[in-house]
Amino acid sequence: MTDEAHEEFTKPWDQLTAIVESGDAEKLSDYLKSLPPGEPARALSRMSKDEQAGVLETLPETDAADLLTELPGEQAAQLVEELPVEEAAVIVGEIESHAQVELLARIDHQEAVAILDHMEPDEAENVRALAAFPRDTAGGLMITEYVAYPEDARVEEVLDDLRTHSEKYARYDIQYAYVVSVEDHLVGVLRLRDLLLASLAASIRSIMIEDPIAVPAATGLEDLQRLFGRHAFYGIPVIGEDRELVGVVRRSDMERAAEQQANRALLKFTGIVGGEELRSMPFLLRSRRRLSWLSINVLLNVLAASVIAWYQDTLAAVITLAVFLPIISDMSGCSGNQAVAVSMRELVLGLIKPREHFRVLWKEATLGLLNGLVLGAVLGGVAFLWKENVALSLVVGVALAINTVLSVCLGGTIPLLLRRANQDPALASGPILTTLTDMCGFFLVLSIAQAAMPWLAGY
């Protein structure tokens, strides 16, 4: 309570609104910089759309651009959509090319086109070219702000150029300089450190790293992760079809993309379609996205539960079984999801190929047998303590044991099969798994019970 009471006096969103109303750009900028990291994003998410747009419009352009890049992607996109196109174009123009592409990809297409039309033609052209590369490829992740020199340049010339354009390059994130042939082919990489230590008269060809590792623009995120994992590079040059230099993928951008991918997978696995939802997003969009997943699940659930309907007479004779059906369903889901998660992880780490389902099947079947026996014994034991009927506890224990083996086998292999079929394991594994294991679980409990009816009836 004291925390909340305290916040009443210091709500940063109220302060922001007040400063925007006063129109004092400098004060606004200072106040935002005084907030702890992350707090501007939270504060904006508490303000109305107009108030948020007011903050961006009041701020100096570069500060507005900095603020935008600090926000979560979805939040930044919503904000830009609220701005007048001219204002948006000016602010977006201040952002790094690579972040421009990411931001514009998230906003409404027509709005994005309008913003590009209001930007400087060169810059807009660059963004359009970058946007053509798919997300999570070298082309989609690369920056185009790099420095390249012809191979016959001398160290002194390079240092002169760096010094002359230091203002321009200050915006760049220079860790390496690249060396290109007359045909613009990438022939070498210069480390700043080597440039620092070399004699001024030396040719850069003599100190460059020759035959540098470079990747085509279509290289996927997983391959990039492994390359960076293997080499202590800060950036890897990206080349076009003729080995011409087109950009640089930085380690930090690759790692951020990988983190985002892992997060999207987590969210998809729990039924967040698209891998993204913030509570500041429009109500109907959130509802529709969640429902698109839930409505498939409700139909699959009906399908699975229809197995119970076939055995209605068995269930009527032994009504106690109705208590155990949801338990079997939920436990099989838990066991199977563990196996799904391990398979997804091993796929990401490259420890397993999609075609190696027999290996996974063997590993999971043996584990499932042991865990199934333990869980079956626990549930059978609980059933016995409750009803003191050996047959009943055998029915539910054996059914859970068998279904545990089935669900870990299915859980382990479904992601591999989905990946082989070029489907996204994160989104589809869960519903497929639970539908199959529910059907099998209900069938096992009820069919075994039917066979054991003479010892069960009346419970």
Among candidate residues 411, 393, 409, the one with its CA nearest the CA of residue 327: 393
Q: Which residue has the tokens 């500041």?
A: 280
Rounded to the nearest 10 degrees, the angle between the axes of helix 73-82 and helix 97-106 is 80
Site string for its own copies, 214-243 (x = CB under 8 A): --------xx--xx-xx-x-x---------
Among 375, 402, 414, 444, binds its own copies (CB under 8 A): 375
Contact window for its own copies (CB under 8 A) among 12-20, 106-114, 255-263, 447-455:
255-263
In the complex, least distance from residue 192 CB atom to its own copies, rounded to whole angstroms: 5
- Cβ pair 68, 79 in contact under 8 A: yes
Contact window for its own copies (CB under 8 A) among 53-61, 77-85, 132-140, 359-367:
359-367
In the complex, least distance from residue 383 CB atom to its own copies, rounded to whole angstroms: 9
Site string for its own copies, 275-304 (x = CB under 8 A): --xxxx--x--xx--xx-xxx-xxx-xx-x
Measured from the CB atom, the residue of 181 and 389 that comes closer to its own copies is 389
Residue 327 in the binding site for its own copies (CB under 8 A): yes
Site residues for its own copies, 59-98, by CB under 8 A, read 70, 72, 75
In the complex, least distance from residue 324 CB atom to its own copies, rounded to whole angstroms: 7
Measured from the CB atom, the residue of 17 and 337 that comes closer to its own copies is 337
Using H for helix, E for strand and C for coil, what is the string for 402-418?
HHHHHHHHHHHHHHHHH
Among 17, 335, 403, 413, binds its own copies (CB under 8 A): 335
Site residues for its own copies, 146-175, by CB under 8 A, read 159, 162-163, 166, 169, 173-175
In the complex, least distance from residue 18 CB atom to its own copies, rounded to whole angstroms: 21
In the complex, least distance from residue 42 CB atom to its own copies, rounded to whole angstroms: 5
Among 22, 48, 206, 312, binds its own copies (CB under 8 A): 312
Contacts 24+ apart (CB under 8 A), 435-439: 435/300, 435/301, 435/303, 435/304, 436/410, 437/329, 437/332, 437/333, 437/336, 437/403, 437/406, 437/407, 437/410, 438/301, 438/304, 438/305, 438/307, 438/329, 438/332, 438/333, 439/303, 439/304, 439/307
- Would you call 53 exposed, middle or buried from its count of C-beta atoms within 10 A (0-12, 13-18, 19+)? buried
Spatial strand order of the sheet with 215-216 comes to 215-216, 235-239, 245-250
Site residues for its own copies, 21-60, by CB under 8 A, read 36-39, 41-42, 45
Measured from the CB atom, the residue of 17 and 335 that comes closer to its own copies is 335
Separation CA 90–CA 156 (nearest Å): 37
Spatial strand order of the sheet with 209-210 comes to 148-150, 176-180, 186-191, 209-210
Measured from the CB atom, the residue of 108 and 259 that comes closer to its own copies is 259
Q: Which residue has the tokens 């230590």?
A: 197
Give the total of residues touching its own copies (CB under 8 A). Answer: 116
